[in-house]
Amino acid sequence: MPGNLTLEALKDAVTRGEIDTVLVASVDMQGRLMGKRFHAAFFCESGYKETHCCNYLLAIDMEMNTVPGYKSTSWETGYGDYIQKPDLSTLRRIPWLPGTALCLADMLDHETHEEVSVSPRAILKRQVARARAMGFEPMMATELEFFIFENSYENLRDGGLSALKPISAYNEDYHLFQTSKEEGLMREVRNGLYGAGIPVENTKGEADAGQHEVNYRYSNALDTADNHAIIKQGVKEIAHAKGKSVTFMAKYDHRKAGSSAHVHQSLWTLEGEAAFADHHDAHGMSALMKHFVAGQLAHAEAITTFLAPYVNSYKRFTIGMFAPTKAVWSADNRTAGFRICGAHTKAVRVECRIPGSDVNPYLCCAALLAAGLDGIEKKMELEPEMKGDMYHASGVRNIPTNLRDAAAALNGSAMLRAAFGDDVVDHYHHAAQWEISETDRVVTDFEVQRLLERA
């Protein structure tokens, strides 16, 4: 369910005075929306065709520093422009911002007008095209978890980080009484996102104090990634308007549960048949699905950088907190990295439980899809199912425990270099190396508290 506005409907809304601002947004390497606010009249006149942005937007870190060493752009090349080409199929109202609509945009090379190869949306679109050329439509959904705090972002910025106060006092997983106290915010989240054309199914309390989850309808891979990016922006903006803050960090406190973005995946034929379903199989899995899952297992280490992109991401992989530590598959088992859901129905699917809510959804979905399609192309045999408590299983495939190891696996992956191209792998390997070096050089509060007196 892409955007809920056509250009003609937008023009009518502008004429009636209902909409006066259009956000044109591209997604950066971190999955954030970056762009401009157009006067709606100008957007309707000519802004819908294209606009421009500095090409450093695909070569910056979380702090928006101009990171040296990228081949695509640098001070040496002068940091020129990319074209932002609005995708009018994503045009939608944004109910929580008065008089505002949003349109996502692809990033194009200023000279060739081709999509920029390292652009996250372009990377996913290429893998979707690859799947369609094989006769399949990739369908996905992400479950987005986050923590809500009583503190505003301004309060935290002004020194209140040490006094973070979750909106609730205890674990509220499925807890209807506790989440009733937070309905003033979460009702606006559900209704606001639904009004923006995102088919929200439900929200629920999650496995720690102040933690929530948004679930929205399964869709094609690109639409799912678009919705994911808009949901994160929307939740932050709606919370900010109410004087609250939220975090999508994978792990904001080592004593608390992490926040995940489990990815549900299946392939359907272009005629609308469930390609993963086989009612005669013990797990309801077709041979095609087994090849797909086998590919994801075989390449689990190589794709982890796209599922866990920051040093902090790996602190989520802890025993007993529902984040996986083993890259194995199991049927309806939340201790495994890959969980088979919906057995013996047409909705049978593989849920990858490795990603945290800090992922860039386009890169995450593209990497999972590339690995699965490689399994199909090579007819990889699915290893036996693992059963029981995966946390304490020995002699099985581990999820990388740190970004340094994951980045090395990414850099050496022939599969990803063939699927994405050397330029993409080199670009995101460089981003991971920068993240590691920045974290390595910073003295943390933990180090000061531990060593200041005792060392």
Q: Which of 396, 406, 395 is nearest to 356 (CA)?
A: 406
State the pLDDT at residue 1: 56
Mean pLDDT over each residue of the chain, to the nearest integer: 95
Best mean pLDDT range from 11-25, 321-335, 384-398: 11-25
Q: What is the pTM of this model?
A: 0.96
- pLDDT bin (cut points 50, 70, 90) of residue 427 is very high
Q: What does the block give as tokens for 411?
A: 């850099």
Looking at residue 93, its pLDDT comes to: 97
Tell which wins on pLDDT, 33 or 2.
33
Residue 161 has pLDDT above 80, yes or no: no
What is the rounded average pLDDT of the residues 358-372? 98
What CA–CA distance (Å, rounded) separates 414 from 196? 40
Asked whether 347 and 274 are in contact (CB, 8 A), the reply is yes
Which of 222, 123, 118 is CA-nearest to residue 431? 118
The torsion angles phi and psi of 268, rounded to 5 degrees, stand at: -120, 150
pLDDT digits (tens, 9 = 90+) for 42-84: 999 999 999 999 999 999 999 999 999 999 998 888 899 999 9
User: Can you state the percent helix, strand and coil of the chain, rounding each to 5?
Assistant: 40, 20, 40
pLDDT tens per residue, range 223-276: 999 999 999 999 999 999 999 999 999 999 999 999 999 999 999 999 999 999
243-258 residue pLDDT tens: 999 999 999 999 999 9
Tokens of 105: 């945009």
Sign of the alpha-carbon torsion through 204, 210, 211, 214: positive
Instruction: Please state, in angstroms and rounded to a whole number, the distance separating the CA atoms of residues 143 and 216.
Output: 8
List all residues 6 or more positions away from 28 whose beta carbon is below 8 Å from its beta carbon.
34, 57, 58, 60, 120
Does residue 157 carry a pLDDT above 60?
Answer: yes
Query: In this model, does residue 194 exceed pLDDT 80?
Result: yes
- Checking if the pLDDT of 26 tops 90, the result is yes
| pLDDT given at position 100 | 98
Give the bridge partners for 267, in sequence order: 138
Strands 136-142, 263-269: pairing kind: antiparallel
> What are the structural domains, with CATH classification, of the chain?
7-116 (3.10.20.70), 117-133+260-455 (3.30.590.10), 144-257 (3.30.590.10)
